Chains A and B, each alone.
Chain A
């Protein structure tokens, strides 16, 4: 697949000396939903702001649809729609006017039929003449999306689209995003909710301390998540895994007081029954049994923690 957005070694140092981006590199494929996952202060918003032209980059290159964001900013920005994190709207403006302004700002000819379609899709058509201050938070968020869609972008940035949104609305938002992807728009969304990345994304990029630590197909990550560990705690202390249990590929737990078995929860047979029978047959006495799931969160925490010592060393 071709990449629609290409970020190479992007660095951003703010005037105060804070390094928000430290050589971020990321390629985004046309038509995908990419979740940019990272803790607060990881550089998610700075990355988006820089790509969109709100902040100036310190070094590195960014191209959108093959256009450089600095030398060909008009063509590049014309392809991008941005939904900011904060609900930034002028309270006394009407929904329709503010959406029409967005379309005009991006140099697109007036097309009220298209705006009607966008507003209807986002369930805002009834509110088109309402002042923005009259709307609920969820509606305001949708107005921001409508503004970004009004100029028919090929790439849409959603910065924390569900921050401060209740569960019901969050599900609605996921549907909106899925619809967008179906219509051919490439979606990049930032989030610090792992479940959101799981629910929506095709690929997941993890960002921490201004660097992209990992970009992976979600399915591949989920596979890792599908692994579960069963820890069989024993009353005896073992020096090694008994020969009779060799076929199970077990690890010895801490202090030799347990056996650890890794299995795939989605496999037809997990092999737990046979294992437990064989453990008993080998003459071992079970003290307790525990299972653990390695989650995306574990992977995430490990990655982010690994990034920290690096920083200390710098």
Chain B
């Protein structure tokens, strides 16, 4: 393993993040506050409790997941697409590194950024609502796995994309709807029976449910199933990445 190269990619990617630290820090704080103002104070005052949890607190796990998924994905996809777009990818392709090292560097950096933002949102939320975390270790595990798997998916999108439009396409058309309809802001039990069944085909449901279980010890689906879903999703992304590695798809002519 060329750890020096991994560290070089990681540090270079993180430097971009730290250069704009104020933005990186402020934007999740502001957007989280807005969600709490709208959902927590304005609407939440009319919704009593969801399964024994005050609505303001109930939305925290979903909110963190929503941001972490989109951030991890867009960071990673942009991180690898930008060198392709600028042409600077030549250097990575001609360096004595293998694909795994490239993936660890880029995905590691993207996941770290997403994790950082997730923690910022969690801290901001604690200012608005009383939060207790029932299973802290599980919470960290779910959070880290989500950051990594969505960064992996973003990496794949970044390799696949041939234009900025394509880069936006999957996050916008697939992931955002799945996340919003995945129970970020509601419990699945609030849906009519038919839609409850339909919802179970949405993989994001399992992630949010598991993450929420880590906070409130209650879940829409069994927590084992949630773990299985996130592990399966990570494995799938790894398999695709492995295939790209073997074939050089969209990287090497």
- Residues of A whose CB lies within 8 Å of any CB of B are 14-15, 52-56, 73-78, 80, 82, 84, 86, 88-91, 97, 100-109, 147
Q: How many B residues have CB within 8 A of the partner chain?
A: 25
Evaluate contact between A106 and B253: CB separation under 8 angstroms: no
> If the complex has contacts A14-B253, A75-B96, A105-B97, are A54 and B90 also in contact, measured as CB distance less than 8 A?
yes
- Tell me the chain B residues, 186-222 only, with Cβ under 8 Å from chain A: none
> If the complex has contacts A78-B96, A104-B7, A106-B95, are A90 and B253 also in contact, measured as CB distance less than 8 A?
no
User: What are 21 A-B residue pairs whose CB atoms fall within 8 Å in the complex?
Assistant: A53-B93, A54-B90, A54-B94, A54-B252, A80-B94, A82-B90, A88-B90, A89-B88, A90-B86, A90-B88, A97-B15, A100-B8, A101-B12, A103-B8, A105-B5, A105-B9, A105-B95, A105-B97, A106-B95, A108-B4, A147-B91
Evaluate contact between B96 and A107: CB separation under 8 angstroms: yes
Alpha-carbon gap, A55 to B11, bound state (A) = 27
Partner of A82 from the list B8, B12, B94 (CB cut-off 8 Å) is B94
Which residues of the other chain, B, contact A105 by a CB distance below 8 angstroms?
5, 8-9, 91-92, 95, 97
Which residues of the other chain, A, contact B87 by a CB distance below 8 angstroms?
84, 86, 88
- How many Å from the CB of B109 to the closest CB on chain A? 12
A-B contacts besides A15-B253, A77-B94, 19 pairs, CB < 8 Å? A52-B90, A53-B93, A53-B252, A54-B90, A54-B94, A54-B252, A54-B253, A56-B248, A56-B252, A73-B96, A77-B95, A82-B91, A90-B88, A104-B4, A104-B12, A105-B95, A105-B97, A106-B5, A107-B2
Interface flag for B17 (CB, 8 Å): no
Alpha-carbon gap, A106 to B12, bound state (A) = 14
Interface flag for B82 (CB, 8 Å): yes
- How many Å from the CB of A82 to the closest CB on chain B? 5
Which residues of the other chain, B, contact A73 by a CB distance below 8 angstroms?
96
Alpha-carbon gap, A86 to B92, bound state (A) = 16
